[in-house]
């Protein structure tokens, strides 16, 4: 068992590197947004995992299929862990639920009336911010006063959500 | 390859169990139900696999591989839980994209999109979800944080400071 132990530690080490790189990158003024910084730190972790796995697997005399299997297992594990970390940061950037919790905390221990919360949540402003973000990311285009979708990451994600919703929730 | 295929199969099989259960009845607290399904189903399935392997000489991962398989499953389940929040509830960005996809080449004006981004569709369901998850409790004509909600909110604030995050709408 001891000989196999380091393999599963590699994606965990990659995640630690991802977090550490993000802690450094978020403090350096680079003129780029959070998402791009997150991709940079994620890529650093992925490169470290790929190198670490290559070094560790080179010491073992395994058939090609097993090498590919271990590589896929641990690279995917890192990718999943990285995705979770990415979303922890992103939830703090724009998730409504997290933002609401912060609104309640600012008022704590006093209750926050629904009317006050709704006033802070002007849906028009929310729409404009989302439209601006989607246009920045070239996910949508504005021509002749009308918005149109563009093929891209968000469109792909929206399609996955639609299919999952149909499969699981039948709506 | 046995370790990877086992990990992948266990996750897909857990998803299959979820599909069957959700088709019978969608649970009220879906996050908790998902955690139970993705926590229990692989244990049951792996037990059956090991029992079958002893009988039919199926390939079995080594004990150390099981740790990697467990980590893969936990990480994949974490991702799926995150993705599932987008399935369970509408996000404004996804709603906009869905509306634009449905409109095709004609596209949508801001006013048409505004009719879909409403308080009832986005703010209210999240308030109810926070209450259902016992992060908020009713108080007078509004709500306040529970002890759990306070912990979650403080963690969010701490993470914002740590990673220099300035939230947007």
Kindly list the residues from chain A whose CB atom is less than 8 angstroms away from the CB atom of residue B109: 145-147
Task: State the smallest CA–CA distance between residue B28 and chain A in angstroms.
Answer: 12
Per-residue pLDDT tens digits for A37-75: 899 999 999 999 999 999 999 888 888 888 999 999 999
Confidence bin at A2 (pLDDT 50/70/90)? very low
Contact residues, A window 137-166, toward B, CB-based 8 Å cutoff: 139-140, 143, 145-149, 154-155, 157-162, 164-165
Per-residue model confidence (pLDDT) at position A117? 81
User: Which carries the bigger pLDDT value, residue B56 or residue A82?
Assistant: A82
Q: Which residue reads 């995705």 in tokens? A: A83
The reported pLDDT for the residue numbered B167 is 64
Contact (CB, 8 A) for B92 and A127 = yes
User: Any idea where the domains of chain B sit in the sequence?
Assistant: 2-88, 92-162
Examine the predicted complex and report whether its ipTM is higher than 0.90: no
- pLDDT, tens digit, 9 for 90 and up, residues B93-147: 888 998 999 998 899 999 999 988 887 777 888 888 888 888 999 888 889 999 9
Q: Which H or E element spans position A147?
A: strand A146-149
- How far apart CA B40 and CA B42 sit, in angstroms, is 6
Q: What is the mean pLDDT of chain A?
A: 88
Question: Å from B150 to nearest chain A CA?
Answer: 7
CA pair distance B18, B14, nearest whole angstrom = 6
pLDDT at residue A1 tops 50: no
A 10 A CB-CB count for B80 gives: 18
What pLDDT sits at residue A30? 78
Between vectors from CA A134 to CA A100 and to CA B86, what angle results, nearest 5°? 50
Q: Do A7 and B64 touch (CB under 8 A)?
A: yes
Q: Could you report the per-residue pLDDT of B141-164, keeping only the tens digit for each?
A: 889 999 999 999 999 999 988 988
């Amino acid at each position: 068992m001891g000989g196999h132990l380091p393999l599963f530690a590699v994606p965990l080490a990659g995640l630690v590197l991802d977090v550490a790189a993000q802690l450094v990158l978020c403090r350096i003024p680079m003129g780029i947004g959070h998402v791009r910084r997150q991709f940079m730190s994620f890529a650093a972790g992925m490169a470290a995992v790929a190198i670490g796995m290559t070094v560790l697997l080179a010491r073992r005399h395994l058939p090609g299929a097993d090498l590919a299997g271990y590589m896929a297992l641990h690279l995917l594990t890192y990718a999943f862990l990285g995705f979770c970390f990415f979303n922890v940061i992103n939830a703090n950037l724009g998730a409504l639920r997290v933002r609401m919790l912060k609104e309640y905390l600012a008022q704590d221990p006093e209750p926050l009336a629904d009317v006050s919360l709704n006033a802070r949540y002007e849906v028009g402003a929310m729409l404009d911010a989302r439209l601006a973000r989607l246009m920045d990311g070239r996910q949508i285009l504005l021509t002749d006063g009308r918005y149109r979708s563009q093929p891209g990451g968000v469109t792909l994600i929206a399609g996955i959500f639609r299919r999952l919703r149909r499969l699981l929730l039948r709506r | 390859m046995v370790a990877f295929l086992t990990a992948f199969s266990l996750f897909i099989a857990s998803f299959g169990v979820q599909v069957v259960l959700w088709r019978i009845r969608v649970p009220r607290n879906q996050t908790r139900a998902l955690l139970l399904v993705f926590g229990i189903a692989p244990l049951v399935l792996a037990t059956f696999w090991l029992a079958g392997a002893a009988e039919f000489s199926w390939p079995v991962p080594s004990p150390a591989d099981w740790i990697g398989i467990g980590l893969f499953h936990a990480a994949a389940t974490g991702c799926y839980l995150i993705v599932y929040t987008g399935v369970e509830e509408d996000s404004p960005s996804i709603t906009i994209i869905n509306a634009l996809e449905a409109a095709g080449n004609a596209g949508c004006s801001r006013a048409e999109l505004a009719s879909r981004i409403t308080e009832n569709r986005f703010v209210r369901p999240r308030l109810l979800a926070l209450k259902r998850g016992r992060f908020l409790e009713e108080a007078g004509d509004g709500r306040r944080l529970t002890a759990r909600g306070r912990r979650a909110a403080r963690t969010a604030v701490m993470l914002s400071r740590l990673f220099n995050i300035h939230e947007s709408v």
